[in-house]
């Protein structure tokens, strides 16, 4: 059985969980070790982005066409975990250390990545009927201990990659199930809507990944919408940081306020929308607006968020009418159309979703 990604998925991508503006703040205000780790992470991330841009320049519209599924038949869950080998000629994926039939490893990060991929696979299969990233049981790969004190985790078009964090501001990135769900959802977007990664379309892209990552965490812990903390990266920050996570879907802009990390810049309403050239036009910033809309919809429904609100958002992600450039208003309209298709035009579901978008200033007159 092959443990490498099929050739047709090998396209350059780079979707990190930490935005560059946060790392730049740490590079400026952190202590010597923190600043060094942040600068190293920024350098690696910059190289990844440059490689992706070069690939796209030669591939033209390659990313606008979803890659083909990896197999005509479904073969079940297949996981492979690698450990990064810095001196190896081909640095990714690294040394293979655990596969589907292996016993647990002595390395905690290996086991966390392995278990997290398994939870994500089961979540998407059992809740949405999706079989892995490509819906045809594409093998799931992850590399742990990437680089040195690397403060990030990302999806690269083929696999997940996890850093260990610097140990002072950030813990290991394998310890957050919602981060695993978030990054794997970038792969699902790659095979479905292939949303652009800039401006409002990029913020929608990021928000969908936060939504699915949060639903995975809630599902794994059996939490209702009311019981959830609605925090992305809740276990990522160390106790030295004045913050509770990377992002709050309940209250965007309140996740952290720390001298070294800066202040959470996310808005929760269109009145506070940030127009910026940073972060690909604010994809990790303005995603707070659709994030809060989902939180409001999920709590409006009550119960388990994946059962109704999550179902509407997933169907919208799958909707063939979702175009790569769609921003908040067009995406919101599609969620309403899918709510109608799933529950009926006069249903409470439609009213709840419409009210959720209205409360964040995304006004949809008709759908």
> For residue 72, what pLDDT is reported?
54
Question: Would you say residue 5 has pLDDT above 50?
Answer: no
Is 115 exposed, middle or buried, given 0-12, 13-18 or 19+ CB atoms closer than 10 A? middle
pLDDT tens-digit map of 20-53: 999 999 999 999 999 999 999 999 998 887 766 6
CB atoms within 10 A of CB 183: 26
CA–CA dist 205, 319 (Å, integer): 14
Catalytic site residues? 183, 284
Q: b/e map of 40-61 (b: 16 or more CB within 10 Å)?
A: bbbebbeebeeebeebeeeeee
Nearest Cα to 232, choosing from 222, 219, 217, 242?
217
pLDDT of the residue at 75? 84
What DSSP state is assigned to residue 89?
A: S
Tens digits of residue pLDDT in 217-228: 999 999 999 999
Exposed / middle / buried, residue 277 (Cβ in 10 Å: 0-12, 13-18, 19+): exposed
For 320-366, the pLDDT digits (tens) are 999 999 999 999 999 999 999 999 999 999 999 999 999 999 999 87
Lowest pLDDT segment from 7-11, 78-82, 148-152, 292-296: 7-11
Please report the pLDDT score of residue 359 as a whole number: 98
Mean predicted lDDT score pLDDT of the chain:
91
| pLDDT tens digits along 187-215 | 999 999 989 999 999 999 999 999 999 99
**What percentage of the chain reaches a pLDDT higher than 70?**
90
Q: Cα 26–107–47 angle (5° rounding)? A: 40
Residue 28: CB atoms within 10 A of its CB come to 12
Predicted local confidence at residue 173, as pLDDT: 97
Q: In this model, does residue 62 exceed pLDDT 50?
A: no
**Per-residue pLDDT averaged across 238-264, rounded?**
97
pLDDT band at 99 (very low <50, low <70, confident <90, very high): very high
- Residue 107: predicted pLDDT: 97
Burial class (CB in 10 A: 0-12, 13-18, 19+), 192: buried
Average pLDDT over residues 63-83: 72
- 362, 293 Cβ separation under 8 angstroms: yes
The b-or-e profile of 11-23 (16+ CB within 10 A means b, else e) is bbbbbbbbbbebb
pLDDT digits (tens, 9 = 90+) for 175-184: 999 999 999 9
CATH numbers and ranges of domains, the chain: 7-191 (3.10.170.10), 199-359 (1.10.390.10)
pLDDT the model gives residue 229: 98
Q: Which band of pLDDT confidence, cut at 50, 70 and 90, is reported for residue 116?
A: very high
d(CA 273, CA 156): 29
Identify the band that residue 231 occupies on the pLDDT scale cut at 50, 70 and 90: very high
């Amino acid at each position: 059985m092959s443990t490498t990604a099929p050739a047709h998925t090998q396209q350059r991508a780079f979707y990190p969980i930490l935005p560059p503006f946060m790392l730049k703040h740490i590079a400026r205000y952190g202590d010597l070790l923190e600043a060094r780790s942040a600068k190293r992470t920024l350098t690696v991330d910059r190289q990844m982005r440059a490689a992706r841009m070069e690939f796209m320049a030669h591939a033209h519209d390659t990313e606008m066409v979803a890659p083909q599924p990896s197999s005509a038949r479904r073969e079940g869950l297949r996981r492979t975990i690698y450990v990064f080998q810095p001196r190896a000629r081909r640095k990714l994926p690294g040394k293979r250390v655990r596969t589907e039939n292996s016993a647990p490893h002595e390395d905690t990060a290996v086991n966390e990545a392995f278990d997290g991929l398994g939870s994500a696979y089961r979540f998407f299969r059992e809740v949405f009927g999706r079989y892995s990233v490509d819906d045809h049981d594409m093998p799931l790969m992850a590399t742990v201990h990437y680089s040195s004190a690397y403060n990030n985790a990302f999806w690269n078009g083929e696999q997940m990659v996890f850093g260990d964090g610097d140990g002072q501001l950030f813990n290991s990135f394998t310890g957050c199930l919602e981060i695993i769900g978030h990054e794997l959802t970038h792969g699902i977007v790659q095979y479905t809507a292939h949303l652009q990664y800039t401006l409002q379309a990029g913020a929608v892209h990021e928000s969908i990944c936060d939504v699915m990552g949060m639903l995975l965490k809630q599902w794994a812990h059996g939490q209702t919408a009311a019981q959830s903390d609605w925090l992305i990266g809740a276990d990522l920050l160390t106790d030295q940081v004045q913050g509770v996570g990377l992002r709050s879907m309940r209250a965007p802009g309140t996740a952290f306020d720390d001298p070294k990390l800066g202040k959470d810049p996310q808005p929760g309403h269109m009145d506070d929308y940030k127009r910026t050239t940073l972060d690909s036009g604010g994809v990790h910033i303005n995603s707070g607006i659709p994030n809060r809309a989902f939180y409001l919809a999920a709590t409006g429904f009550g119960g388990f968020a994946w059962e109704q609100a999550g179902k509407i958002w997933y169907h919208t992600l799958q909707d063939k009418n979702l175009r790569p450039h769609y921003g908040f208003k067009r995406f919101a309209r599609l969620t309403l159309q899918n709510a109608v298709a799933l529950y009926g035009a006069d249903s409470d579901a439609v009213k709840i979703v419409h009210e959720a978008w209205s409360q964040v200033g995304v006004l949809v007159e008709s759908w």
